[in-house]
Amino acid sequence: MALRTEELTFSLGPQHPSTHGVFRAMVTIDGERVVHVDPVIGYLHRGTEKIAEWKTYPQIIPYTDRMDYLSAMLNNYCHVGAVEKLLGLEIPEHAEYIRIIVMELNRIASHLVWWGTFLLDLGAMSPFLYAFKDRQVILDLLEEISGARLTYSYMRIGGVKRDATQEWLRRVDDFMDEMVKNIQGYNNLVTGNEIFQSRVKNVGVYDEAFAKRWGLSGACLRCTGNSYDVRKSDPYSLYPKFDFEIPTRTSGDVWARYIIRIEEMLQSIRIVKQAIRNLPDGPFMGKAPRNIRPPKGEVYFHIESPRGDMGCYIVSDGSDHPYRWHWRAPEFANLAAFPAITEGVNIADMIAILGAIDIVLGGVDR
């Protein structure tokens, strides 16, 4: 005899700790089962794409900092790289190496925030504190080179703002050694834990066809066995020169996404160490025109952000500001699949799935 239950609709957020920002999900449940989730976004919408049409190309860089605020260096690079592609600029190798160092450092910092908050969602408090302690060291390093803690505005069209000192590079190198040990510790603390594993294994499973249909990218796609990573698939910057791997898994569940991100941190450390070892001498700023007026035309430039395939599309009309400036935010596409993944799962699993998508609402809403 089945018990008669009634459907209940409530809203998760917009000010809920497990929604990682101002994200609201209208959840319909039947007992413990999720019947339907309706994401409501736009609370953090600032109209950056429209603002950018009124700004000169260098003036857009500080605005990109404020979109996906956990990986501002990569946002900077995406915009700057698009403009450079449009201009056909030659970037000094030294500048490109420094860019890779700061981008990979930022990727580690972003993954650390994800790691801490994801486990906070699952009810583990102390990993969050360890993650933020390590992240603080990275942010201090980036603060020193760029001048700000989160809103770096470090990239310039043609190079970077300031050069890295030998002392700074040495400290980055030392910290990378420490970070490898810390990640080993994280695995001891969390990854091997049976309770954690039973919370994430076989939860939120989908296959490669589903991931492609929804346009997922980043760890959300690589957990299904597809090894799509822009750094390898459509190489940009000097990534072909570096020796690193793209971690993939085939199970397609939250556990796979977790393992992939942990391994990505180790790969980023590898890249940073290689970049510091092979850093060539040279100028940190190339020959960029004073007034940046790209030729008429359009360009799409995409990079691998910590959350997936991030792209910048610029239509230039030959003036000093873009005619149209569009941003492809990976977390927006990843979040769009959230209702489809969560159909019929438990409420607690829904939180784990949302945490594993790794959303940053600054990037989703733009």
Give the binding site for other proteins (CB under 8 A). 53-55, 58-63, 126, 130, 133, 136-137, 140, 143-144, 147-148, 151, 153, 161-162, 185, 188-190, 192-194, 296, 298, 315, 317, 319, 321, 323
Give the residue with the Cβ less far from other proteins, 153 or 267: 153
Of 183 and 221, which has the nearer Cβ to other proteins?
183
Query: For other proteins, which is the closer residue by CB, 60 or 100?
Result: 60
Closest separation between CB of residue 223 and other proteins, Å? 23
Gap between the terminal Cα atoms of the chain: 50
In angstroms, give the least distance from the CB of 248 to other proteins: 25
Quote the least distance from Cβ 178 to other proteins, whole Å. 11
Nearer to other proteins (CB atom), residue 179 or residue 357: 179
Rounded to a whole number of angstroms, the minimum distance from the CB of residue 233 to other proteins is 28
Closer residue to other proteins (CB): 190 or 271: 190
Q: How far is the CB of 207 from other proteins (least distance, A)?
A: 30
CB of 353 to other proteins, least distance (A): 24
Q: Which is nearer to other proteins, 140 or 245 (CB)?
A: 140
State how far the alpha carbon of 119 is from the alpha carbons of 88, 128, 135, in Å: 44, 7, 16
In the complex with other proteins, the residue whose CB is nearer, 123 or 235, is 123
Least separation in angstroms between residue 351's CB and other proteins is 21
